[in-house]
Structure 1
Amino acid sequence: MRTIRGVGASSGIAIGEIAVRGDAGRAVERRLIDDPTAEVARFRAARDAAVTQLGRLRDRVEDEFGDDKASLFDAHRMMLRDPGYTAGIEKLITSEGVNAEFAVDAVAERFAAMFAAMDDSYMRARAADVRDVSRRVIDVLEGGSGDMAGGGGSHGDDGRHIILAEDLAPSETVRLDRSAVLGFVTAGGSANSHTAILARTMGLPAVIGIGDAFDTADDGHVAVIDGTSGMVVIDPDEATLAEYRGRKAKYEDHLRLLRELKGRSTETRDGRKIRLYANIGRPSDVTAALANDAEGIGLFRSEFLYLESEDWPTEEFQFEAYRQVARRMGDRPVIIRTLDIGADKRVGYFDLEHEDNPALGYRAIRICLTRPEIFRVQLRALLRASAYGNIAIMLPMITSVQEVRDAKRIIEETKEELRGEHIGFNEHIRMGIMIETPASVIMADELAAEADFFSIGTNDLTQYTLACDRQNPNLGRFADPHSPAVLRMIRMAVEAAHRHGIWCGICGELGADPSLTDLFLEIGIDELSVPPAGILPLRGAIRSSTVIRDSPVIRNGAPDPS
């Protein structure tokens, strides 16, 4: 028995024989050609054929998995049409007189290396997409049919097997025969890759990133893969097999229960309704929110648009991101937190000075109010996007009424600018406040008079209430989010909100803590916003709870109590 640890990319357990898949990344021959102009034309024809193939693949994926997943192949087609990508290939053909296959492969590796060197894991994962689309063009140039899926042979008594491969491209993954494939393990890959996303959509357990543990000699051996923990066991003994068979049965029963909860209302046994929203950081995260039946977006961390940019994100760039999320969510609320840079989230082009204690320093609303030129760009984008969906604005790190009034003044001035330019927006857009400092709790009655809703950020509220740096690993035993002081702060904020007829939710990590669900219901929390994967389990916990209390009367766009 041999145990390998990788990265869990798609939950679930698979038990079966391994089918090793040959590496699709074969070497591309470099040849000198006599007619660069003809070779460029040959490349363009192959590229156009690849775009057509991706269009057919998109239609197939849309029929089976829906438009959300199919949009991946729209992105792949855009990659093939990218001017920089195309120009790089054509320049290499003409300047060095090389064959189109070699030029495509060389430029693809250059682009892939650029993505792979980025700090953000999501952007690093795009390297696989560049290689995938380029491999498709090369396949066309070499006379292939465009069917790049291939696959292992028939293993096991029922012909079902676990694929073991160096890597799998998204276009290969979506073509896997789910009647024959139990799951897959790859040497490379990323949990943020489109391959991993498709595996989750297809319900295929997957473990990625096993690296040098990849061994073609494992072909035909029995294996267990755990897509949740990232564990792979080759040639398991009987005790291990029995353990994983039991886990697999429990997991499948859990999935069955969760499927039953999709589309069901989030309400307690005694009829008290709670809104269950998702926390996201990027527009692409909406896919997971919708897949898990989120009733809205309770926290869109807009700072990721800044963290993932090498320069100031423009108004147009932000507008498109916010509009995309609003459109995909339809009528469901989308609460977008304004810029929360500073503390542990540093961006080089902000030129922020070094601070000995950045958690207590120049961050979030303090930057927005002292550098309003930054704030106005974001507000213009947010307001413009509000014409396309149910967007609300949320202000972070509030400590005083004056901060809220100053922010509201800038919002109103920005609205007036847009009116003067005849640009539409939601004139009645809601504005909420994050409760994440003791000052905001103490001032909650006065703040509630200025806001349409509260959302409690329990991570920072715990840090500031207990005076414990959340980044300091030595303070784990002291930074207890279950502290009575923290829970009392939460109760005070909820009560103040309800006294003034507004709703109060939680968007911090405590919202997904099942040990506190009953307490939050008893306190009177109106909304919980959690990571997408936590939505359905939390709905199950709420539906099994009974809370004897009257639902609060609330106003100003609160979660619908009916």
Structure 2
Amino acid sequence: MGIVLKGIGIGNKISIGKVFLYNKEKIEFSQEKDELPFEIKIRQLEESIEDVRRELEELYKSIKETFPREAEIFLFHKGILEDEYVIEKIKSYLAEGYSLVYSIERAFNEIKSEFEGMEQELFRERAKDIEDVEERLLKKILNINTSSLSSLPYPCIVVAKDLTPSDTANLDFINLLGFVTEEGSITSHTAILAQAFNIPAVVGVRGIIDQVKKAEEIIIDSGEGLVILNPTEEEKHFYSIKKDEKDKISRELIKFRDLPAITSKGRRIKVFANIGSEKEAEIAINMGAEGIGLFRTEFIFLDRNDPPSEEEQFRIYKRVAEIFKDKPVIIRTLDIGGDKEIPYLKLEKEKNPFLGVRGLRLCLLERELFKVQLRAILRASVFGNIWIMYPMVAIKEEVEEANKILEEVKQEFENEGKTFVRNIKVGIMVEIPSIALSLEEVIDIIDFVSIGSNDLIQYTFAADRTNEKLRYLYIPNHRAVVSLIKNVVDVCHKFGKEVGVCGEIAGDEEYVPLLVDLGVDELSMAPSKIPVIKKKIIEL
């Protein structure tokens, strides 16, 4: 029997192949002080920073058309490199007589520690970006060639301690069979990449680097989060059959891709997609999405040093609207806070960010940021069928205030002679029990509702959904959750409004029958799940 290791599975696929061990060369450095004049070390630092800055700009340009979301990371890296706080830290060690390499390593380690000490998992993951920039700068100074995964030597499963954006830039998708990393979580760069491009992956596999050897065979079952090293012939045979079955099912599911999801009783359920970028919009339309039920715009704001401009946002929203033409594209306004932070906003650190300033609450405080996004959305509205959705709504007054700001922007557009859709649809996410129970108070000032089941379940049980110890409290079919969803559906239908679900349960075969029985009109999910869920609905 082969060595079986467990990690966090990304997707639901099986891959069998040889290992490509991506073990990056460790950079050795001396802690000794040197006699090199301070001015010479400063010049070397400045020249190296400029060289790396140009490299990052070229990386950004080379992938921004194909992978716009991933490309933004390199602008974030460039910002780290240019940050005065970072540069001054390096210079302070140089002034004490330390070598350039040691000064850089010491300064970046201090900054990494600051990120790693933060409560939010997504923010802790940004420490990997700091490390990535540090490594790139040190390799430039030491004249070490930067390795990449752009040309894999054979069809393989890449095994690494972790993978950074620089590692996966211009990735060789032809020979890539999957990823396994020793570190990482569901919010790590590897996980995001695997989800976006439907690549089988298992992350957070402790001890994999010590146990794996280059070119030996390996099996990954991302559906189960399993990695098998040196599989026996029997195991290879078993998983080959299982892989063929999954692949066959995937091929058979293709015929459901473009079918309408109509139950045996003749009820039509709209099947939409959740996306975070233009590239994912293209994947979604090809997978049979009938619309976008959730465009997570926060990804446009993350991994950068300043907010995206109106023009930048407009181009992205316009492109997605054009891809979907007359199909609905529901754009969720900025949903930052909780597990997602933006350093450049300089928000106060909160003891409990999941119950703090996040979602619409933040937009009502950062009005100019909100108005810029609304302007971009309204400009793009004439290029398709765009709807606006406010996240994290707790009470009616928040919606009234948001609509007031939207009306101000519309009035500005009319005064400026700009074209836009005046009666653009506006809806809310129901993620908080308070609004689920008082929906009748707000239903007359909105056009639709989307249930964010992830947060609704979390807030119903007062249990952090990222806490493994509280996993037992993630109970989508608990009577308390079902009662809340039923109330939302009943109120919406009473007033002739559509209601959808855009949380994880919308793409889970186990819970789809329940949601259909409760009367939900639309389900929105990861693009790869669309054929599966359409098939499930048709069979009901």
TM-score (norm 2): 0.72
Matches within 5 A, 1:449-464: 449-456=444-451
2:400 equivalent to 1:408: yes
Matches within 5 A, 1:189-208: 189-200=184-195, 204-208=199-203
Residues 398 and 433 of structure 1 are in contact (CA less than 8 Å); yes or no, is this contact kept in structure 2? Answer: no
**Cα distance in 1 for residues equivalent to 2:115 and 2:129:** 10
**Cα distance in 2 for residues equivalent to 1:143 and 1:341:** 40
Sort the Cα spacing of 1:48 and 1:202 in 2 relative to 1 into closer, same or farther, 3 A: farther
Provide, for residues 323-378 of structure 1, a one-character-per-residue CA deviation record: whole Å limited to 9, x for no partner: 79745643653343798999xxxxx959899xxxx99xx9999x96xx99748678
**Cα distance in 2 for residues equivalent to 1:177 and 1:160:** 10
Residues 363 and 369 of structure 2 are in contact (CA less than 8 Å); yes or no, is this contact kept in structure 1? Answer: no
**Equivalent residue letter for 2:245:** K
1:192 Cα deviation from its structure 2 partner: 2.5
Matches within 5 A, 1:30-429: 30=31, 32-62=34-64, 65-93=66-94, 95-149=95-149, 159-174=154-169, 177-200=172-195, 204-215=199-210, 218-256=213-251, 264=258, 266-268=260-262, 274-278=269-273, 291-293=283-285, 298-299=293-294, 326=317, 329-330=320-321, 333-336=329-332, 374=365, 380=371, 383-389=374-380, 390-394=386-390, 403=396, 407-408=399-400, 411-412=403-404, 415-416=407-408, 428-429=423-424
Greater CA deviation, 76-85 or 415-424?
Answer: 415-424
Sort the Cα spacing of 1:273 and 1:290 in 2 relative to 1 into closer, same or farther, 3 A: farther
Residues 149 and 172 of structure 2 are in contact (CA less than 8 Å); yes or no, is this contact kept in structure 1? Answer: no
Residues 277 and 527 of structure 1 are in contact (CA less than 8 Å); yes or no, is this contact kept in structure 2? Answer: yes
Sort the Cα spacing of 1:102 and 1:372 in 2 relative to 1 into closer, same or farther, 3 A: closer
Structure 1 equivalent of residue 478 of structure 2: 480
Residues 261 and 539 of structure 1 are in contact (CA less than 8 Å); yes or no, is this contact kept in structure 2? Answer: yes
Secondary structure at 2:123 match in 1: helix
Secondary structure at 1:211 match in 2: coil
Structure 1 equivalent of residue 490 of structure 2: 492
**Equivalent residue letter for 2:522:** E
**Equivalent residue letter for 1:6:** G
Please provide the CA RMSD for this pair.
5.2
Sort the Cα spacing of 1:57 and 1:440 in 2 relative to 1 into closer, same or farther, 3 A: closer
Sort the Cα spacing of 1:33 and 1:194 in 2 relative to 1 into closer, same or farther, 3 A: farther
1:383 Cα deviation from its structure 2 partner: 3.8
Identity of aligned residues (%): 24
Sort the Cα spacing of 1:497 and 1:122 in 2 relative to 1 into closer, same or farther, 3 A: same
Secondary structure at 1:455 match in 2: strand
**Cα distance in 2 for residues equivalent to 1:364 and 1:144:** 43
**Equivalent residue letter for 2:332:** I
Secondary structure at 1:8 match in 2: strand
1:136 Cα deviation from its structure 2 partner: 2.1
Unaligned runs of 5+ in 2: 323-327, 339-346, 381-385, 465-469
Provide, for residues 15-44 of structure 1, a one-character-per-residue CA deviation record: whole Å limited to 9, x for no partner: 233344434232223562423223222222
**Equivalent residue letter for 1:108:** F
**Cα distance in 2 for residues equivalent to 1:190 and 1:118:** 16
Unaligned runs of 5+ in 1: 343-347, 547-562
Residues 49 and 81 of structure 2 are in contact (CA less than 8 Å); yes or no, is this contact kept in structure 1? Answer: yes
Residues 314 and 379 of structure 2 are in contact (CA less than 8 Å); yes or no, is this contact kept in structure 1? Answer: yes
TM-score (norm 1): 0.69
**Equivalent residue letter for 2:3:** R
Provide, for residues 51-71 of structure 1, a one-character-per-residue CA deviation record: whole Å limited to 9, x for no partner: 3333443444357x4434333
**Cα distance in 1 for residues equivalent to 2:349 and 2:131:** 34
Secondary structure at 1:132 match in 2: helix
**Equivalent residue letter for 1:228:** G
Greater CA deviation, 34-43 or 22-31?
Answer: 22-31
Bigger Rg, which one = 1
1:504 Cα deviation from its structure 2 partner: 2.5
